[in-house]
Amino acid sequence: MTRIAMNGLGRIGKLALRRMIDEGLGPQIVLLNDAAGDAEQHALLMEFDSVHGRWPVPVAADGDALMLDGHRIPLTHERTIDALPLEDVDLVIDATGVFKTSGALVPYFEAGVQKVVVSAPVKDEGALNLVYGINHALYDGSQRIVTAASCTTNCLAPVVKVIHEGLGIRHGSITTIHDVTNTQTIVDRPAKDMRRARSALANLIPTTTGSATAITLIYPELKGRLNGHAVRVPLLNASLTDCVFEVERPTTVDEVNALLKAAAEGPLAGILGYEERPLVSTDYRGDPRSGIVDAGSTMVVNGTQVKIYAWYDNEWGYACRLVDIARMVAGRMA
């Protein structure tokens, strides 16, 4: 049995932990770590969530541990990897958002850990960036560092796959209309990024996204041909990716939607969704799929410019893919 540790119990780490317990992986989780909060605080935040509601699983603090669905899992509060008690850990899911280079992750391996799955892109050559359902077959068991890319990249990649394989993408631009995260500010205060310094509650905030360029880690042939921005909006959950592509040959709205629907009902079922009803962001809260095409919003301009909207739960959907990858890696270690 592969022994798993979770480092980081923020938004993604907590939801990934819920997913793992729901999927029966509790006995394999041998360590939790988060630098902030004690066991009582984390127990409350595991059970109650402002976005995703109450988790219908028994949760309690037990000294320096969490009791989750009957499983007692030790909880530590270390800020550095080398301080973690990792001698009985085979695989770490790093959801800290802090250690985002291969070099920064080396202390895990020095402590005896065999594999690390990271909840953020690692863009140097020492890591394999995966979008589960798209290129996860690239994992052959030899790579020590595997990432689940980002939430927006997971939404974007299935759409890119379908359009690139079906119509050919010449170039494109992406705008993610993204909910607030803890990297933003509740009320105005000085910060390095002066747009993110402004209140997340009161503003639409243009900012950067690495998703359009990160997609070239999945599709190297598109390097230099995709770019994008983000607009942070004052909502808690469920985001929208606006994809605009110039394609290789003339097409129609009907053809574009037919390609996307066929993929969603076939090879990408459970990863890509296709929705014809006039839904809004709240309707996608808690959706485990990576992205859901808003069919009624598809546009084609002058035959070759294609516009597609794809919804995604940027927390739960991504946490589900992170767990998919961790399960895959753990399965190859057993």
CA separation for the pair 315, 317 (Å, rounded): 6
Burial profile 10-27: b = 16 or more Cβ within 10 angstroms, e = fewer? bbbbbbbbbbbbeeebbe
Active site residues: 151
Residue 150 assigned ligand-binding role: yes
Check the annotation: does 254 bind a ligand.
no
Give the span between the Cα atoms of 150 and 171, in whole angstroms.
21
79 known ligand binder: yes
Question: Is 12 flagged in the annotation as binding?
Answer: yes
Q: Is 154 annotated as a binding residue?
A: no
314 is known to lie in a ligand binding site: yes
119 marked as binding residue: yes
Element (H, E) at 247: strand 239-247
Q: What totals of helices (H) and strands (E) does the chain contain, helices first?
A: 7, 17
In the 8-state DSSP scheme, what is residue 24?
Answer: T
304 marked among binding-site residues: no
Q: Is 50 annotated as belonging to a binding site?
A: no
H or E stretch including 242?
strand 239-247
d(CA 295, CA 289): 16
Distance separating alpha carbons of residues 297 and 326, to the nearest angstrom = 34
Residue 175, annotated ligand binder? no
| Buried b / exposed e along 163-187 (16+ C-beta atoms within 10 A) | bbebbebeebebbbbbbbbeebbee
Tell me, what DSSP letter sits at residue 278?
-
Q: Is 211 labelled a binding residue?
A: no
Is 289 among the annotated ligand-binding positions? Answer: no
Beta bridge pairs of residue 91: 4, 115
Q: Is 151 flagged in the annotation as binding? A: yes
| H or E element, residue 301 | strand 299-301
Using DSSP's 3-state secondary structure scheme, residue 163 falls into helix
Contact 53, 11 (CB under 8 A): no
Binding residues: 11-12, 34, 79, 119, 150-152, 181, 209-210, 232, 314
Binding residues for NAD(+): 11-12, 34, 79, 119, 314
| Residues annotated in a binding site for D-glyceraldehyde 3-phosphate | 150-152, 181, 209-210, 232
